[in-house]
Amino acid sequence: MNTAELLVRCLENEGVEYIFGLPGEENMEVLRALEHSSIKFITTRHEQGAAFMADVYGRLTGKPGVCLSTLGPGATNLMTGVADANLDCAPLIAITGQVGTDRMHIESHQYLDLVSMFTPVTKWNTQIVRSSNTPEIVRKAFKLAQAEKPGAVHIDLPENIAAMEAKGQPLTSDSNAKMYASSHSFGEAAMLIANAKSPLILAGNGAIRARASQALTEFATRLNIPVVNTFMGKGIIPYTHPLSLWTIGLQQRDIISCAFDQTDLVICVGYDLIEYSPKKWNQIGNIPIIHIGEGRAEVDSSYIPKVEVVGDISDALHEIARRAERNYAESGEATQLKAQIRADYEQYAHDEGFPVKPQKIVYDLRQVMAPEDIVISDVGAHKMWIARHYHCERPNTCLISNGFAAMGIAIPGALAAKLVYPDRKVVAATGDGGFMMNMQELETAVRVGTPFVTLVFNDGGYGLIEWKQHIHYDHSSFIEFNNPDFVKLAESMGLKGYRVESAIDLLPTLKEALEQDVPTIIDCPVDYSENLRFSRKADAQSCEI
* pLDDT above 80 (res 541): no
**pLDDT tens per residue across span 33-72:** 999 999 999 999 999 999 999 999 999 999 999 999 999 9
Q: Which residues pair with 153 in a beta bridge?
A: 93, 124
**Domains in the chain and their CATH numbers?**
3-162 (3.40.50.970), 183-337 (3.40.50.1220), 347-537 (3.40.50.970)
Q: What is the structure's pLDDT at 69?
A: 98
Burial class from Cβ neighbours inside 10 Å (0-12, 13-18, 19+) for residue 138 reads: buried
Asked if residues 522 and 457 have their Cβ atoms less than 8 Å apart, the reply is no
Q: What is the structure's pLDDT at 88?
A: 96
Asked if residues 490 and 327 have their Cβ atoms less than 8 Å apart, the reply is no
Distance CA 498, CA 482 (A): 18
Tell me the average pLDDT across 353-381: 97
Q: How far is CA 241 from CA 36, 87, 232, 238, 393, in A?
A: 49, 30, 18, 5, 9
Which of these, 360, 389, 365, 301, lies nearest to 502 by C-alpha position?
360
**446 contacts: CB under 8 Å, gap ≥ 6:** 493, 494, 495, 518, 519
**What percentage of the chain has pLDDT greater than the value 90?**
86
Confidence of residue 511 (pLDDT cuts 50, 70, 90): very high
Asked if residues 454 and 442 have their Cβ atoms less than 8 Å apart, the reply is yes
* pLDDT above 70 (res 303): yes
Determine the number of helices (DSSP H) and then strands (DSSP E) in the chain. Answer: 22, 18
Query: Which helix (H) or strand (E) element contains residue 236?
Result: none
Confidence of residue 473 (pLDDT cuts 50, 70, 90): very high
**Residue 104 CB: number of other CB atoms within 10 A?**
13
Asked if residues 221 and 238 have their Cβ atoms less than 8 Å apart, the reply is no
Confidence of residue 253 (pLDDT cuts 50, 70, 90): confident
